Structure 1
Amino acid sequence: MIYWLLRHWIVGPYINRVFRPWVAGLENLPEHGGAIIAGNHLSVIDSFLMPLVIDRRVYFLAKSDYFNGRGLKGLLMRWFFLGVGQLPMDRSGGEKSSQSLDAALQKLQEGQLIGIYPEGTRSPDGKMYRGRTGVARMVLDARVPVIPCVMVDTEKIMPIGSRLPRVGRIGMIFGEPIDFSRYYNLEGDRFVLRSITDEIMVALNRISDQEYVDVYASSVKARVEAERAARSTGR
């Protein structure tokens, strides 16, 4: 009910009028059955914009911080994120992260669509970075196809650090489904996990105009933060 209200009466009409999204490749999405939509990640609003152009509901893994706020603000944020289909993802590793992925796997096994960002975090500079193998583990556990999805210009309407989006047009491109059935039963092979992940990133890069950098985005962010801290202390 909350999702329907937000999509059709609150968020959806606003986004369609303000951002006038253009879309290509919608025919590549399955009409039914589970699938993973693997996307690039340029802006915090990617997870809200993309599901609005798809007739089926899409569940996204979102960092658990969005669900742990206190007071009225925290309650409203939790209500909103759950209402638009976000699933809390604990990034601390270990058992907590496994439980988060289990929730997504359950949705896939129920025949739902799951959205995930293989890069693991937003691009700090508009480039595309190396994918993490969590997406490959999901592919092999759920045995579903992967649909590449490229967001276009979302970083221009809401750059990192912005509180409110700017007016501008954005786009979405859905690539052809990727079948990884040849790797089923090889879940424990780390080389297979890396091969699947790299193939997904190559597919994304082919339909995107982003420059690809073969390092993790989180490493780039950590280096930028360290340099900023060093400048602030005068070292």
Structure 2
Amino acid sequence: MIYWILKLILGPILAALWQPRAEGVENIPLHGPAIMVGNHLSVADHFFGALPVPRKINFIAKSDYFSGTGAKGAIARRFFRGAGAIPIDRSGGKASESALRAGLKVLERGELLGIYPEGTRSPDGKLYRGKTGVARLILEAKVPVVPMAMINAEKIMPPGTTVPKLGIRPRVRFGTPLDFSRYYGMEDDHLVLRSITDEIMYALMQLSGQEYVDRYAKVVKEELERAAKEERKAEKAARKAEEKQRKQEKGV
């Protein structure tokens, strides 16, 4: 109920301020379970991706969105749950198995499940290597798989921002459903899982027009964060050296 109330309220606002466009909505099944696989550019993906879909999409989301404290954390948890988000722990192992089970429950109810194979938001607008968990889910669920490509969402809410920018028109393209029935029963074969995942990422690349990078987005993010940290450290050291030099000059 909260999902539809939010959509009823936010839908006209998003449509009026950003005038989003959608293509290929007819590729989404009107009834029954299906997995919506998408690229992940921004938190705005959750909103603009679901806006043109006449059904509720239950997005798998990182547990950080639900672990905040105080009034702000409580509001965030209620909002994301109401918006159809399913919290998962991305640490791997038993946590990954738990995420798989949660996704299967959604599909067993005959609903739509949204998942971002990259596992995290792109740090620079490029498309990164997908994680194979989505392939396992596809083979166990045996349901239609619809690629969902977001375009321009990262320009509306770049990483680190909380206020969306106006004047940018987002688009979402829903591709032709992907058929992986030839792999049913092979969910324990890692080469099969990688093949399925790569096929999904190729479809998203074709739909979105993004440059593909055969590396995990999380690894690239960590490298960028370390580089930024080192740069700040160097700048701080340079300022200290300049200050020390000025003091020495004054002493002379």
Q: Please indicate the TM-score interval, normalised by the length of the shorter structure.
A: over 0.9
Does the CA-based 8 Å contact 2:157-2:165 persist in structure 1?
yes
* 1:141 CA drift (Å): 1.0
- In structure 1, distance between residues paired with 2:221 and 2:203: 24
Gaps of 5+ in 1: none
Partner of 1:192: 192
The Cα shift of 1:49 comes to 1.7
Rounded Cα–Cα distance in structure 1 between residues aligned with 2:43 and 2:157: 8
In the other structure, the counterpart of 1:76 is 75
Q: Could you say which residue in structure 2 is the equivalent of 1:170?
A: 170
- Alpha-carbon deviation of 1:101? 2.4
TM-score w.r.t. the length of structure 1 is 0.96
Amino acid at match of 1:13: P
Q: CA deviation at 1:162?
A: 1.0
Say if 2:32 and 2:110, in contact at 8 Å, map to a contact too. yes
The count of residues paired between Structure 1 and Structure 2 equals: 234
Alpha-carbon distance between aligned partners in 1 of 2:117 and 2:160, rounded to the nearest angstrom? 22
- 1:146–1:179 Cα contact (<8 Å) kept: yes
Q: Distance in 2 between matches of 1:134 and 1:118?
A: 8
**CA separation in 2, counterparts of 1:124 and 1:146?**
26
Distance 1:232 1:90 in 2: 31
Moved over 4 A (4+): none
Equivalent position of 2:223 in the other structure: 223
What code does the residue aligned with 1:64 have? S
Q: Give the SS at the match of 1:177.
A: coil
Decide whether the 8 Å contact of 2:44 with 2:156 is kept in 1: no
TM-score computed with the length of structure 2 as normaliser: 0.90
Displacement of 1:154: 0.7
Q: Is contact 2:48-2:172 (8 Å) kept? A: no
Distance across 2 between alignment mates of 1:100 and 1:227:
32
Q: Could you tell me how far 1:77 is from its partner in structure 2?
A: 0.6
Could you report, residue by residue, the CA deviation over 1:50-77 in whole angstroms, capped at 9, with x for unpaired residues?
Answer: 1121001100011101111111111111
SS at match of 1:188: coil
Aligned-pair distance for 1:232? 2.1
**What's the counterpart of residue 128 of structure 2?**
129
Tell me the secondary structure at the aligned position of residue 221 of structure 1: helix
Structure 1: distance between partners of 2:96 and 2:117 = 15
How far is 1:100 from its partner?
Answer: 2.5
> Bigger radius of gyration, 1 or 2?
2
CA contact (8 A) 2:37 2:114 kept: yes
Corresponding residue number in structure 1 for 2:205: 205
User: Which AA in structure 2 matches 1:57?
Assistant: K
Q: Give the Cα–Cα distance (whole angstroms) in 2 for the partners of residues 221 and 58 of structure 1.
A: 27
Q: Name stretches of at least 5 consecutive residues in structure 2 with no aligned partner.
A: 238-252
User: What's the offset of the Cα at 1:15?
Assistant: 0.8
Q: 1:84-123 maps to which residues of 2 (within 5 A)?
A: 84-123=83-122
User: Separation in 1 of the partners of 2:48 and 2:208?
Assistant: 17
Cα RMSD of the aligned pairs, angstroms, is 1.2
* 1:233 to partner: Cα distance: 2.2
Question: Does the CA-based 8 Å contact 1:89-1:101 persist in structure 2?
Answer: no
State the Cα distance separating 1:134 from its structure 2 match. Answer: 0.8
1:12 is aligned to 11
Q: Aligned letter for 1:224?
A: L
Deviates further, 204-213 or 95-104: 95-104
Amino acid at match of 2:217: A
Partners in 1 of 2:98 and 2:207 — Cα distance? 32
Contact 2:40 2:150 in 1 (8 A): yes
CA distance in structure 2 between the partners assigned to 1:192 and 1:183 by the alignment: 7
Structure 1 residue 97: deviation in Å? 2.9
Percent of aligned pairs with the same amino acid: 53
AA of the residue aligned to 2:226: A
1:96 CA drift (Å)? 2.5
Deviation at 1:114, TM superposition (A): 0.6
CA deviation profile, 1:91-145 (whole Å, cap 9, x unmatched): 1122233212211111112111111111111111111111110110110111112
